[in-house]
Structure 1
Amino acid sequence: MDSAPAQDGLGEAPPSASPAERAGIPASAFAELWTLAEAGACELSEVEFGLALAASGARCRFGVPPAETVSPDRRMAFYRALHLKELALAQACALGRDIAWRRFLESYRSALTQAATGIAGSSALGEDLAGALYAELYGLKERNGERHSPLAGYSGRGSLMGWLRAILAQRHVDRHRRTHRESPLGDADFAAPPAATPASPAELTQLNQSVGRTLGRLQAEDRLLLASYFLDGRTLLELARLLRVHEATVSRRLKRLTGEIRKSLLKDLQAHGMSRRAAEERLGADPRDLDLNFDLNLRNILQTSPPTAFSQQAGKT
Structure 2
Amino acid sequence: MKDIHYKSTTIFSKTYKKILKKPKWIISKFPSNDKKIKNIKNIIKINNLHSVCEEALCPNIYECFNKKTLTFMILGNICTRKCSFCAVFKGRPKKIDINEPKKIAKVVNLINLKHVVITSVNRDDLKDGGSNHFVKCIKEIKKNNLNTTIEILVPDFKKCINYAIKKISKCPPDIFNHNIESVPRLYKYVRKGANYKNSLYLLKKFKEKNPYLLTKSGFMVGLGEKYSEIIDVIKDLKKNHVDMITIGQYLQPSLKHFPVKKYFTIKEFYKLKVLAKKIGFKNIFCGPLVRSSYHSKLQISKVFNKKI
Structure 1 or 2, whichever has the larger Rg, is 1
Same fold (TM over 0.5): no
Of Structure 1 and Structure 2, the greater helix share is in 1
TM-score by length of 2: 0.29
Q: Highest relative contact order (Cα 8 Å, sep 6+), 1 or 2? A: 2
Of Structure 1 and Structure 2, the greater strand share is in 2
